[in-house]
Amino acid sequence: MKETPLSNCERRFLLRAIEEKKRLDGRQTYDYRNIKITFGTDYGCCIVELGKTRVLGQVSCELVSPKLNRATEGILFFNLELSQMAAPAFEPGRQSDLLVKLNRLLERCLRNSKCIDTESLCVVAGEKVWQIRVDLHLLNHDGNIIDAASIAAIVALCHFRRPDVSVQGDEVTLYTPEERDPVPLSIHHMPICVSFAFFQQGTYLLVDPNEREERVMDGLLVIAMNKHREICTIQSSGGIMLLKDQVLRCSKIAGVKVLEITELIQKALENDQKVRKEGGKFGFAESIASQRITAFKMEKAPIDTSDVEEKAEEIIAEAEPPSEVFLNLLRVSKPVLWTPGTAQIGEGIENSWGDLEDSEKEEDDEGGSDEAIILDSIKMDTREVSNIGSQDAPIVLSDSEEEEMIILEPDKNPKKIRTQTISAKQEKAPSKKPVKKRKKKRAAN
């Protein structure tokens, strides 16, 4: 499905609103939409909502052999998917330019900033290291995917626990969560992306653009920063020229925003950990707002299955026994060995069609005679009709067949008619009559 195009008047309206320092959702220029973080029951699973934009993050791990040139480092892998659920224009299984750009930006933000200690992921140097895989699914697209995705990725990584491993000599032991508590990843800092949209060649600036604003913007500046105000990556796209002051101003704003978001993430993580420790309920089921009218919950429902056995017996007893024809089909046929090296089933077996054919023949005969009778009666009918027709309309008659004959015969094959026998001429003679009659009629009219 194609994206709905943005109309010119919509575009003008949005731009004029931005010029007047107004945003459609009532935010100020530097405001973020509200951010909500919820955790799933498994470790390393979270959903981040940035306004209406939603990203699902899941971290998983696997023991693999390391890269040849980095024998002592674990592997980090990021994969952002733009699901068709997020917007109808996203096609499944296609690497669009937007997707490639976002994935690369995420890698630069999280892998190249060395926020995760990859050396601690090494189990046996050169042989076994952990591969940490971060899957991010965009569930709803309402602008600013990169900010939501970077928050989801870092939250999922912070929340994740990998199974504990011990090495004794050459033996590597992997412990299940029941045996030993899984261990968290060691994270040095939390880089977070902040997006700035520019309008009218950089005259106007907005933080956290939504989908509509992204469509009318001229350029985008993404700054990834951690709470120590260290810039991890900067990307300017859209092809606008920015002044030094503008970039500096953006980095200052980013510093403030990152501080706020980091605080929120830490609070959310602490809260989840507290609930888990206390043995309370956690997971997505608890995070559904039950006061919402669109949400509904039902407690455990016991189901009476006492009569199931009786019912099943009844059904089996009531079921008709398989018919004889069906049983014949079920009869096991023996493999036939025609020549050495072959075995065959299904040909050369006694033909059971004989009985069927006989019965069919009888039916055919009956049917045939019936039809004959019916045909006779129809013929009778038609005769009667034709008789009536000839009696009633001798003057009005204008049979199309006759007309054709008249038109064709004199022009195309006059020779044939001459060579033909007299009977043809006799046939032709009456066919002229209706034409004459019609001429008379026309004259009368």
Partner 1 sequence: MEGVMQTDAKMRTESGAESSPRGPGCSLRHFACEQNLLSRPDGSASFLQGDTSVLAGVYGPAEVKVSKEIFNKATLEVILRPKIGLPGVAEKSRERLIRNTCEAVVLGALHPRTSITVVLQVVSDAGSLLACCLNAACMALVDAGVPMRALFCGVTCALDSEGTLVLDPTAKQEKEARAILTFALDSVERKLLMSTTKGLYSDAELQQCLAAAQAASQHVFRFYRESLQRRYSKS
d(CA 164, CA 172): 11
309 binds partner 1 (CB under 8 A): yes
d(CA 148, CA 49): 7
415 binds partner 1 (CB under 8 A): no
83 binds partner 1 (CB under 8 A): yes
**Shortest approach of partner 1 to residue 412 CB, angstroms?**
43
d(CA 104, CA 432): 89
| Residues within window 424-443 making contact with partner 1, judged by CB under 8 A | none
- Contacts with 23 (C-beta within 8 Å, 6 or more apart), sequence order: 17, 29, 31, 206, 213
Q: Find residue 344's DSSP bridge partners.
A: 336
Instruction: Evaluate whether 287 touches 38 at the Cβ level (below 8 Å).
Output: yes
Instruction: Evaluate whether 39 touches 159 at the Cβ level (below 8 Å).
Output: yes
**Shortest approach of partner 1 to residue 105 CB, angstroms?**
21
60 binds partner 1 (CB under 8 A): yes
Which residue, 300 or 418, is less far from partner 1 as judged by CB? 300
Q: Which stretch binds partner 1 (CB under 8 A): 37-45, 194-202, 230-238, 371-379?
A: 37-45
Which of 227-235's residues contact partners 24+ apart within 8 Å by CB, and which partners?
227/189, 227/190, 227/258, 227/259, 227/262, 228/189, 229/255, 229/258, 230/189, 232/108, 232/109, 232/112, 232/113, 232/115, 232/191, 233/105, 233/108, 233/109, 233/112, 233/113, 233/191, 235/105, 235/108
The b-or-e profile of 19-38 (16+ CB within 10 A means b, else e) is eeeebeeebeeeebbebebb
- Contacts with 186 (C-beta within 8 Å, 6 or more apart), sequence order: 116, 117, 120
**CA atoms 214, 220, 221, 226: torsion sign:** positive
313 binds partner 1 (CB under 8 A): yes
For the CA atoms of 291, 293, 295, 296, what is the dihedral angle to 10 degrees? Answer: 80
**Shortest approach of partner 1 to residue 132 CB, angstroms?**
12
Which residue, 79 or 166, is less far from partner 1 as judged by CB? 79
297 binds partner 1 (CB under 8 A): yes
Which residue, 92 or 340, is less far from partner 1 as judged by CB? 92
The length of the chain in residues reads 445
Q: Find residue 236's DSSP bridge partners.
A: 221
Q: Which stretch binds partner 1 (CB under 8 A): 54-62, 325-333, 344-352, 405-413?
A: 54-62
288 binds partner 1 (CB under 8 A): yes
Q: Which of 307, 324, 347, 411 binds partner 1 (CB under 8 A)?
A: 307
87 binds partner 1 (CB under 8 A): yes
Q: Which of 12, 16, 21, 52 binds partner 1 (CB under 8 A)?
A: 52
94 binds partner 1 (CB under 8 A): no
135 binds partner 1 (CB under 8 A): yes
Which residue, 288 or 406, is less far from partner 1 as judged by CB? 288
| Residues within window 105-134 making contact with partner 1, judged by CB under 8 A | 133
**Shortest approach of partner 1 to residue 308 CB, angstroms?**
5
Phi then psi for 81, rounded to 5 degrees? -115, 135
- Contacts with 96 (C-beta within 8 Å, 6 or more apart), sequence order: 82, 90
343 binds partner 1 (CB under 8 A): no
**Shortest approach of partner 1 to residue 443 CB, angstroms?**
53
Size of the site for partner 1 (CB under 8 A): 55
What six digits make up the tokens of 399? 């049979």
Annotate each residue in 251-280 with x if it binds partner 1 (CB under 8 A) or - if it does not, as one string: ------------------------------
| Residues within window 137-176 making contact with partner 1, judged by CB under 8 A | 137, 139-142
300 binds partner 1 (CB under 8 A): yes
d(CA 128, CA 343): 51
Q: Which of 168, 305, 339, 426 binds partner 1 (CB under 8 A)?
A: 305
Binding site for partner 1 (CB under 8 A): 1-2, 40-42, 45, 47, 52, 54, 56, 58, 60, 81, 83-88, 92, 133, 135, 137, 139-142, 283-285, 288-289, 292-309, 311-313, 315-316
